[in-house]
Amino acid sequence: MKNNSFLYFENPRDFVCFLMKFNIVNEWKISSGTMNERGDYISNKWYCKHLKEKFNNKKFFRRSVSVGEIVSWIDSFSIMKRVFENLSSNIEQEEFDQLEVCCEYVIQMSKLMRVDYLLIFNKTVLLLEFRLVNDFEKIKSTWTKKKTELLIYKELCENYFDKEIKVLTFAFISLYEYDRSIANIAHIDYNNNQVTFLSEYIRRFMIKNNS
């Protein structure tokens, strides 16, 4: 799985260290606007150029990554950092350090379909997809679409995953948290509740079921 991923981390600590090392999410805001509009702000940032170069050097993708895609990655980085901070307080550190993290995993023989994240713990793999929407009304329909995509990804992965591996899926639909510099408290609260829910999902169905 490592070789088919854009980024791979042996544990969540390495993932967070990567983000801190490159100063990617320290001042990041999940804000309103299109991905390309938001991308204009970071297109000349050195970490944006680093991610783009690293992605293109993988050579198993069809095209160069857009700045809009990089914005969506950083949004998910910000969310996953919160998830791991929450999770680290609710499981044993030995368990936490056994959780592997794959970003932008390419499914074999799928015409280069990619899953946002794979989380791996012993014999359980979680396929995780993210999507940002503008308002509460769009959450349900977007979740349904993403969940359908995940079930397709799951079927494709089960064609070649070890038969003993249990494959789980999770669609994380988030809301923008800032309109320019103005915080949307309702959206922030919703996202944080989803962070807690995903953390508990990982703890209950990945960690404790395999301990």
Average pLDDT over the chain, rounded to an integer: 94
Per residue in 78-110, pLDDT (tens digit) is 999 999 999 999 999 999 999 999 999 999 998
C-beta separation of 39 from 70 below 8 A = yes
Across residues 50-67, what is the average pLDDT? 84
The CA-CA-CA angle for residues 118, 123, 127, to 5°, reads 20
Across residues 127-135, what is the average pLDDT? 97
- Would you say residue 210 has pLDDT above 90? no
Cα 51 to Cα 24, 42, 200: the distances in Å are 10, 12, 30
Per residue in 17-37, pLDDT (tens digit) is 999 988 888 889 999 999 999
Nearest-10 crossing angle of helices 35-42, 67-88 = 90
Across residues 119-146, what is the average pLDDT? 97
Per residue in 111-126, pLDDT (tens digit) is 889 999 999 999 999 9
- Residue 49: name the closest of 37, 65, 34 by CA: 65
Predicted confidence at residue 99, as pLDDT, reads: 97
- Domains of the chain: which residue ranges? 2-210
Predicted confidence at residue 1, as pLDDT, reads: 86
Predicted confidence at residue 188, as pLDDT, reads: 98
| Interatomic CA distance for residues 70 and 68, integer angstroms | 5
Across residues 178-201, what is the average pLDDT? 96
Across residues 50-75, what is the average pLDDT? 87
- Would you say residue 58 has pLDDT above 90? no
What pTM was computed for the model?
Answer: 0.94
Q: How confident is the model at residue 211 (pLDDT cuts 50, 70, 90)?
A: low
Across residues 152-177, what is the average pLDDT? 97
Across residues 36-53, what is the average pLDDT? 90
Percent of all residues in the chain with a pLDDT value above 90, rounded to a whole number = 79
